[in-house]
Structure 1
């Protein structure tokens, strides 16, 4: 069922984004009097279509892309039959270079607008709920990765790169983990010391399957939240709101202590001490083969909620949207410098479905991921690679500046090279996803 939810979210999200991206091209082309022959969401074979005026609108069977076919344009179809005839007034090639440039940028512009709108609406609707650093009063849980750079459980991180932080999430922000020469200032034993983060640390954060390795978490007092149906905790009588106080007599106060205590007890009977409405109880159960009992924790740390006016949401949402672009630039920089492995960092459709959308359908998460993908799609399409919008825009920019239009033969060759590059990247990403899923 989780696989179907992942696939459904991926297909819906990409269909929305690709449909709007191609709509940007279509509207710009029609605005300048160009003939648009086809507008499709998905790639062939054709599933359904309808013709309105000069344009055929349809759906393809492969829902991981889409296209707009504009008369007189050498595109991914590599249809060059028109190059042997005189340019017609309604063709792409007969229009001024600046109009063709706007048509090529139309999809990128729409994706940027959509990404910003999604982040603005989410900010206005949900505000910002976060753990203030001052309320993470017990310090951090340092997992193995954190310990490898010198952090310890119980440390209190007070500064990042020399600046005091308000939101605990700033500790794990992309500015820190994708930055260069970043460091934490921590309080330990009444003293402050600096812990430096290696420039290749982002590579270590990415697990073998493309997920994120545990790094830092706040030390959390907790109580029992939602119970998983049919699991040992529910069968033994654990209830939402119970506070776990011990496992086999070992005192438990914080969630990481519970995880550490139960992890080695796989498929074994345990005595679970709890406090229920002030009364101590002991429950008997057997853990699963994974060493769990089946409940979601509810943190007892105080959270801060900040609500935004529409003007504030506009600023916050726009900043979040463009942060996606900046993070992509930083990430590619890390890859090119050899600080992050491309095989770990790059994901195809399988990796996106698993690591971004997840197996639970949550609309807030769905729209947040869709907004992120919209900005990422705009960034990727803006790259100056032939066959991408950015490649077409680069060639048109040259034409505008030089006043010389490249030959149809050159454009056809560039399109072929670009298609080989894109197909190679797609094959690498899909193979990489499968490899990580299997191994």
Structure 2
């Protein structure tokens, strides 16, 4: 069932983005009386799952879920159908329209992508508001979960005050800033320290050697279940919160783990909070420093406030207030994605190792249904689709836009033969990128554990 939920979200999001992107081309084409021969969700190589002709347009669903397309008459596109270009230009063809109309048709798809993303962020702001922990109130500091971050000097309990000299209001924003940053300032025991981040931080994380989150909120060690034959089942119970080990206070899971590491192969005295009361018991630690229980490594953000560890800030917005807030969120996401692309084109950062294909997109959807998560992912994917389509690569919208701008500035239109050759070059570039991205997915699935 979990796989079905995950797959349903993936296909629904992908289908929504493809249809709306292609509508961005379809609508202005129709407004400018340009004939659209096909409008397809997914690719119909050899055959279609469904198709119906209405007017001059065949609407259909292909069998290969790698995208979608509109086929506009008189346009050199990915179909490489050059037969229609052999005759005289017809009034309803793309090539017969003024350059400014062709430009609007080509920009329509990415325009819809960006507008969709901003609408989603506005809607989410209105529906859900903001729920966060203020970074300035992180009095307990962070739980460092990545060996990479430990190796560069970050310690449990450090409060990350600034990244590249910038302060952050939301703790949720700090992790991404660190990924993209060069230097962090941390508060440790009342002192401010500076830590330089490795240039290839993204590359090391993307390689899979340092998988998982960098750091997060410090959580108490709450026992949730017991593996088979656990020697501690009975002395400890589900929902116990470990408060101390051998008389040493352990309010957070990372502190419990430190004490377990120091107590390998021994029996320890433990104080747990059980049903609101503190109770004494004992526990056996194996030779690997494990308690042999399952604990809650993550908690819903509201639970943190109930446990008294953090003050949760919740902000609600009226519909009018949601508009500027949502626009700022969308703008920040666009800028953030552009920063990621800059990192990817610099080999020294190793960020290209994180490029993923369809499996990577599939993997970001959760195994449970959450409209908030779904719309958040869809908005980000819409931005990614818009930015990627604007790249000046022939066969992408951005490539067509470059040629149209050249025509509008110079007054000279590139020949159909030139456009055909450029389209072919762009096609092979896209195939190469597709193979690289999905090859990364396959490599990680086979070799990275």
* TM-score, normalised via structure 1 length: 0.87
* Shift of residue 203, structure 1, vs aligned partner: 2.2
- SS of 1:198's equivalent in the other structure is coil
Residue number among 82, 103, 127 corresponding to 1:80 in the alignment: 82
Give the superposition deviation at 1:222: 6.1
Does 1:434 pair with 2:442? yes
| CA deviation profile, 1:90-134 (whole Å, cap 9, x unmatched) | 111111111011111111001111111111111111111111123
Asked whether the 8 Å contact 1:220–1:301 carries over to 2, the reply is no
Shift of 1:41: 0.4
Counterpart for residue 149 of structure 2: 146
Distance (whole Å) between structure 1 residues aligned to residue 293 and residue 76 of structure 2: 57
Deviation at 1:410, TM superposition (A): 0.6
1:303-314 matches, within 5 Å, as 303-314=312-323
Match of 1:315 in 2: 324
8 Å contact kept, 1:127–1:308 = yes
Distance of aligned partners of 1:98 and 1:228 in 2 relative to their CA distance in 1, 3 Å threshold: farther
Query: 1:123 maps to which residue?
Result: 125
Q: Is the 8 A contact 2:226 2:292 kept in 1?
A: no
Q: 2:38 is paired with a residue of what secondary structure?
A: strand
1:252-304 Cα deviation digits (max 9, x unpaired): 320223455679999x99997532221526598999x9955264544342211
Which of 416, 422, 441 is the equivalent residue of 1:408?
416
Report the Cα distance in structure 2 between the residues aligned to 1:255 and 1:25, rounded to whole angstroms.
53
Asked if residue 341 in structure 1 is aligned to residue 345 in structure 2, the reply is no
**Deviation of residue 332 (structure 1)?**
2.2
In 2, Cα distance between the equivalents of 1:372 and 1:232? 45
Q: Counterpart of 2:11 in 1: which secondary structure?
A: helix
Query: Which of 355, 359, 370 in structure 1 is aligned with 2:367?
Result: 359
| Contact residue 78 and residue 427 of structure 2 kept, 8 A | yes
Which residue does the alignment assign to 2:179?
A: 177
Alignment of 1:418-429 (within 5 A): 418-429=426-437
Match of 1:293 in 2: 294
Structure 1, unaligned runs of 5 or more: none
Q: 1:264 to 1:308 in 2, by over 3 A?
A: farther
| Cα displacement (A) at 1:147 | 2.5
Secondary structure at the counterpart of residue 357 of structure 1:
coil
2 CA distance for matches of 1:164 and 1:113? 29
| Residues in 2 aligned to 1:170 and 1:4: alpha-carbon distance in whole angstroms | 31
- Gap change, CA 1:264 and 1:348, over 3 Å in 2: farther
Number of matched residues?
A: 431
Match of 2:105 in 1: 103
Aligned counterpart for 1:65 among listed residues 48, 67, 83:
67
- Which residue does the alignment assign to 1:243? 241
C-alpha contact (below 8 Å) 2:283/2:291 kept by paired residues: no
Q: Are positions 1:201 and 2:209 aligned together?
A: no
Tell me which moved more, 93-102 or 321-330.
Answer: 321-330
SS in 2 for 1:51: strand
TM-score, scaled relative to structure 2: 0.85
Which stretch has the larger CA shift, 1-10 or 301-310? 1-10
1:417 aligns with 425
In 1, are the aligned partners of 2:77 and 2:423 still within 8 Å (CA)? Answer: yes
Are the aligned partners of 1:136 and 1:219 in contact in 2 as well (CA < 8 Å)? no
Change (3 A) 1:411 1:163: closer
Structure 1 segment 214-253 matched on structure 2, within 5 A: 214-221=213-220, 238-240=237-239, 242-245=240-243, 252-253=250-251
- CA shift for structure 1 position 228: 7.0
Distance 1:312 1:408 in 2: 50
Counterpart CA distance in 1 for 2:295 and 2:218 is 21
Structure 1 residues 345-377: Cα deviation after superposition (integer angstroms, max 9, x where no partner):
2110101111x2133332211110000000110
| Conserved 8 A contact 1:265-1:291 | no
CA deviation vs aligned residue, 1:386-426 (integer Å, no higher than 9, x gap): 00000011111111111111111111111111111111111
Residue 42 of structure 2 corresponds to which residue in structure 1? 42
Deviations 1:197-224 (Å, cap 9, x if unpaired)? 2333232333428x85432223334656
Query: Alpha carbons of 1:48 and 1:147: their partners in 2 closer, same or farther (altered >3 Å)?
Result: same
Where in structure 2 are there 5+ consecutive unaligned residues?
none
Q: 2:170 aligns with which of 162, 167, 170?
A: 167
The residue aligned with 1:5 is 5
Moved more, 414-423 or 323-332: 323-332
The change in CA–CA distance for 1:165 and 1:380 in structure 2 (over 3 A counts) is closer
What is the Cα-based RMSD across aligned positions, in Å?
3.3
Kept in 1: contact 2:161–2:187 (CA 8 A): yes
- What is the distance in 2 between the residues matched to 1:14 and 1:309? 30
Structure 1 match to 2:190: 190
Residue in structure 2 matched with residue 383 of structure 1 by the alignment:
391
Distance 1:262 1:365 in 2: 36
User: Which SS does the other structure have where 1:301 is aligned?
Assistant: coil
